[in-house]
Each structure stands twice: as C-alpha cells, then as structure tokens.
Amino acid sequence: MKKYAMLTVKGAVGLLPKTFKQKLKKNSALTALYSRSLHKSGLFYGLPSKKKALAMYSYYLKRQEILLAQLLRAGSLNLQEESNLISVIILGEEKLKYTLASLNHIDHVNRIIIVSNNGPSTTINQLYNGELCVTSTLSDAFLKVINNEHVLLINSGEQLHKAALTLFQRKLKNSDVVYSDTDNKDSKGQLHSPRFFPDWDADLHFTTAYVNTAVALNSKWLKLCSSLCEADNVRTIAQVVLLLWLKKGTLNDSALKVEHLPFTLVHSSHGDEHQKRALPFVAESLRKHSVTEVTTNETPGLNVLMWPVTQSPLVSLIIPTKDAWQLVKACIESILEKTRYGNYEILLIDNGSTEQESLAYFEQIARHPKVRLLKYDHPFNYSAINNFGVKQAKGNVIGLINNDIEVISGDWLTYMVGHALRKDIGCVGAKLYYSDDRVQHAGVVMGYGGGAGHAHKYFPRFHVGYLNRLVATHRFSAVTAACLIVERDLFDKVGGLNESLAVAFNDVDFCLRIRELGYSNLYCAEAELYHHESVSRGLDVTPEKAARFNSELAYLQDTWASVIKADPAYSPNLTLRRENFSFKQKNEYGNT
C-alpha cells in the first residue's frame, strides 16, 4: 500500500511547476522526509533501515576488532619498536573529559597541548595523568611540540580507539598526514553513523572538508604548520590539512603524502558539527591560496568551486550517431541554446545513417557555423568513431558526447573545462540523469558487478548521496564517456580509446590509462545533463552482443584487476553489490 501511495506522490510532484519544485527541494526537512518515505515504501531500493544499519555496523565493529587484534598480535604494528613518542594537540575544551579519558590509557603519548582561549584550568589538570599545557593558538601549540615528535591533532570531545595511535604512528613512517574513518558516539556509548571515506581526495576535501577529525602529522611538517596557522589564523583541522596540501613540495620538492586508514578509529560526540564549522574556513583559505572561485552552500554543507578558464581554448565536442535525428536534435540544440561557454565546435559523426529524415536533419544542422558533419562508413565501434573524430578536431580540449545527451545547466562546459585544464586532472565527467530525474552517472566505481558501475545510480536527483558525494565535485578512478572532457594532449598521449573495446568499458579503460600517468579523474557535480542511456543503440540482449560484452568485461577484469580489487575512490567497507554506498553484507566479508 505504501508503495502505491508513494507512486502517487511521485506522480503528483512531477506535475508541479518547476519553480515550485525547486523551492521544495531547497527545504532539507522535506527532501529528507521524501527520501525516507521512498526508502520505506521500497522505491529507494537497497538502502538499509536505521535499525538494520545499526545491526550491520555492530557486525562490522566486531569484525574490525578481530582484524586489529590479528594485526597487533602479528607484531607488524608494535609501537614498542618505535623510537618516537607522539604529542597530542587538542582543539577546544567542549566535552574535553571524553578526549582525555581516551588518552589516559595510552602509554606512548608524551604530552598534551590544549588550544583554548581560556587559561590553564585546575579541572583540566585533574582529568589527565601526564604532562599537559594550554595555549591560545594552534600556531603556538605546534611550537611547543618537542622536535622529532609526531603530532596527533584532535578536536575536543572526540575519542580515540585504543589502537589508533599505534596505527597512526606506524603509517607515519612513510607518510606525512594520516586520517581514518570515523563514527558517532551517543550519550549511552552506542557507536553509529560511520563515515567510510575514500583514500585521500583533495577535491573532496575542497568541497566537503571531509578530513576534519583527528589526524596524525609527521614531525617534519611542524614548523611549516606553525607558520601556516599563524598566517591564516587557522582554527580547524580541515584547514591544517588543506594548507599543507596547497603548500606541497615545500620540503624536499616532494608531494605531500596523505594516507587513509579504513578503520573507524575516531569517535565523535559532535556529529557533523566540525565539518559544518570547517567549510567556510576551508573556502576562505582556498580563495586566499588558489585561483578558484568558491561559494559555500550551508545546505547541504558544501563548497562549490569554479576554476578559471582564462584563455577559453577551443573545445571540440564529438557526437557519434546512426540515424536517431530526434535525439541528435535535442542534444545539439540544447548545447547551442544553453551552453554559456562560447568557444566550441560540434563534430557530428554519421556512422552509416539510412533514414531520410535523419540525413536531411544532419545536412541542415551542419550549416550552423559551430557544427561540422563527418562521415564514418565502417561498422559501429565507439572507440574507433571517437578516435576518428579527434583526428578531425581543431580544439585543444576534447569532449566526448553521446547523441542522447541533453544540457540542463548552462555552465556545464565552463565548469568541466576549468577542471580539465588543471595540471593534476585528467578526464572530467558530468552528473547525468535519466529522463525521470534519477541519477544515471555520478562517477564510476571499480568493482561493482565484478567490473565497474555508476556511483549512486537511480538515486533521486535532489539527494545529496553518501557523505554529500552526489552533490560534491571530487575524484573517481573513472568517469563515463557519455559526457567526458579531456585535454587533447592527454588523449593523444595514451593513444585514444582502445578500439578492441568496441562498446563497453572503453571509457573506463581510457580513464585508467590516464590515471596511470599520474593524473586524477574527476566527477563534476555542477555539470548537469540528461542521458537517455542506450536509447539509439539498444541493449545487449542478443547472444552476439552478450558475448561481446562478456569479452570486454573479461578484458577489463584482466587488465585492471588491482583497481577492481581496491578502488582508492571507494571504501573497502562498502558493498560492491549495489551502487548505493551501503554497508557490506555479512557474506561479502572474507574469513576474518
């Protein structure tokens, strides 16, 4: 009954005027209620209820304890072998007793430095058995650390797992900054709401300030940390991590190495308060130390960055098609009418069209000054067609565009080109919706279905996703070529798309080859378009098409086995059976 009621509600919402729907979507309480209702009615398939999520996380925690105990017993993380102790810097005094209590039983803490505007407190001294001092600024706190000691930065009120410092200290042997997964701890001591992070993602930090709880810092960065904190009046952990990243290369001309521990080692009693507090400070530091424009949206809690496109290079948008003139018309006209970025050309590649209406439309649209019509009279091969198109392109930036794409946001190309021109970014993908406003693509996760799949697939358009990752621009191992922007030099450097992959996974393979060169691939949440997926080509339902798909999947699995096994953009604690960022099921774990 609930299912049919929600179907009625969905239908009614679809009939509302667009301006009114936009107002409704800005109401976070209403959108949250709508999501919960979809979930309960079974229309938001696969996400566990709150009760089930607690049970699943409880199982995860038991498994984590077994795994950590095995690591410690093996001696691979025995801190007694370490020569360095660690100093702890605590930011603030709120709920301080919980933080100090979690540190009281850890032997290798040398001293604790509390950053507080209040002076030394007798109460504070009574809460901790070891050496403790108070200072008013984070800059001064770093100066009080004894040379050659690593540092743990932690917010007041956060509690550490008993193995946290051991794990952090060992990781710091070969890294500069270490962070872990986190969760919340309620007044009854119940652990819940884990945040299972990806490996270090600078863009996710720019947009969500996600590394905002306890982090460990290598001692070699202490003087730099002090000067950065003094210059920027730093108040949050997220800022420290950001500024170190922006200043990478200051020491030994080598990039900052940030490591992630996929265990929930930090328990917060503040929920997401530290993240919300950090966002505007991160935005302020980005404005000061980078060339990007930054705006902060308090709901859902997000920084939106637009990187400059100073010289506006020519972008060649390549659109292959066979017939399907109505799709092509909707695609090209939406580009011409809505795209604010002006310097682009459209290469429409006709792959053997026979319908007279299509041929007539293609000839007509080719008279537009921004459109060129090219003929590719060979059997369908998506990779070969696009490689052919790139050879004919005049632009320094290439856009691979499916014929069933429709532009929604006018700045889509401005955002995507801005990212593509960054020195560390390779391929840039867009946020794509089905016609019914469900998400079709928001980044590609390796390992889904044994190969690769789309993050947050089928989520409602208004949903923020897991840890805001649906609305935040950040990095993935791969993105779809249904709408992909990349510099031509990079396209040529890897030899274009792999023509042995005629239909499936050629974009994933292409992105991973770009990634092998040291570039990151990016999902741009601000570039919103519709994608009527596979409308013109059809689905792989014939035996021949199924065999071809299985062959291409096997190639992906053989060639990119290591990334499929451990995608750095996805947590090993999340399921690979659905594209919804849910917990792993019990039978997905190994024997540990």
* CA-to-CA dists, residue 256 to 218, 241, 248, 532, 539, angstroms: 10, 10, 5, 41, 45
Nearest to 477 by CA among 568, 580, 579, 400: 568
CA-to-CA distance for 271 and 246, rounded, in angstroms? Answer: 27
Q: Considering the entire predicted model, what is its pTM?
A: 0.90
pLDDT tens readout for residues 540-588: 568 888 899 999 999 999 999 999 999 999 999 999 999 999 998 888 8
Measure CA of the first residue to CA of the last residue in the chain; give whole Å.
42
Structure tokens at 9: 């509600």
* CA-to-CA dists, residue 529 to 333, 362, 397, angstroms: 13, 22, 19
Structure tokens at 58: 């409880």
Instruction: Confirm if 90 and 101 have CB atoms less than 8 A apart.
Output: no
CA-to-CA distance for 248 and 421, rounded, in angstroms? Answer: 20
* CA-to-CA dists, residue 590 to 195, 446, 562, angstroms: 21, 19, 17
Cβ neighbour number for residue 280 with a 10 Å cutoff = 15
Map residue 423 onto helix, strand or coil.
Answer: coil
Dihedral of alpha carbons 194, 196, 200, 206, sign: negative
List the pLDDT tens digit at each of the 592 positions of the chain. 444 455 445 555 555 665 665 566 556 556 556 655 555 443 456 678 888 889 999 999 999 999 999 877 776 544 445 446 899 999 999 899 999 999 987 777 888 999 997 765 656 666 666 778 899 999 999 999 877 789 999 999 999 999 999 899 989 999 999 999 999 999 899 999 999 999 999 999 999 999 999 999 999 899 999 999 999 989 999 999 999 999 875 444 467 899 999 999 999 988 888 899 999 999 999 999 888 899 998 888 899 999 999 889 999 999 999 999 999 999 999 999 999 999 999 999 999 999 999 999 999 999 999 999 999 999 999 999 999 999 999 999 999 999 999 999 999 999 999 999 999 999 999 999 999 999 999 999 999 989 999 999 999 999 999 999 999 999 999 999 999 999 999 999 999 999 999 999 999 999 999 999 999 999 999 999 999 875 444 555 688 888 999 999 999 999 999 999 999 999 999 999 999 999 988 888 776 5
Map residue 75 onto helix, strand or coil.
Answer: coil
CA-to-CA distance for 95 and 269, rounded, in angstroms? Answer: 8
Q: What is the largest CA-CA distance in the chain?
A: 88
Q: Residue 426: which H helix or E strand, with range?
A: strand 425-433
Nearest to 523 by CA among 479, 558, 572: 479
Q: What is the DSSP letter of 450?
A: G
Question: Any residues with CB less than 8 A from the CB of 445 and at least 6 apart, and which?
Answer: 452, 453, 454, 455, 476, 477, 567, 569, 570, 576, 579
* CA-to-CA dists, residue 418 to 21, 205, 306, 414, angstroms: 30, 18, 7, 6
The three-state (H, E, C) secondary structure of 208-272, written as one string? HCCCCCCEEECHHHHHHHHHHHHHHCCCCHHHHHHHHHHCCCCCCCCCCCEEEEEEEEEEECCCC
Instruction: Confirm if 481 and 567 have CB atoms less than 8 A apart.
Output: no
Structure tokens at 261: 């521990």
Domain architecture of the chain: domains with CATH: 2-41 (no CATH), 54-290 (3.90.550.10), 315-536 (3.90.550.10)
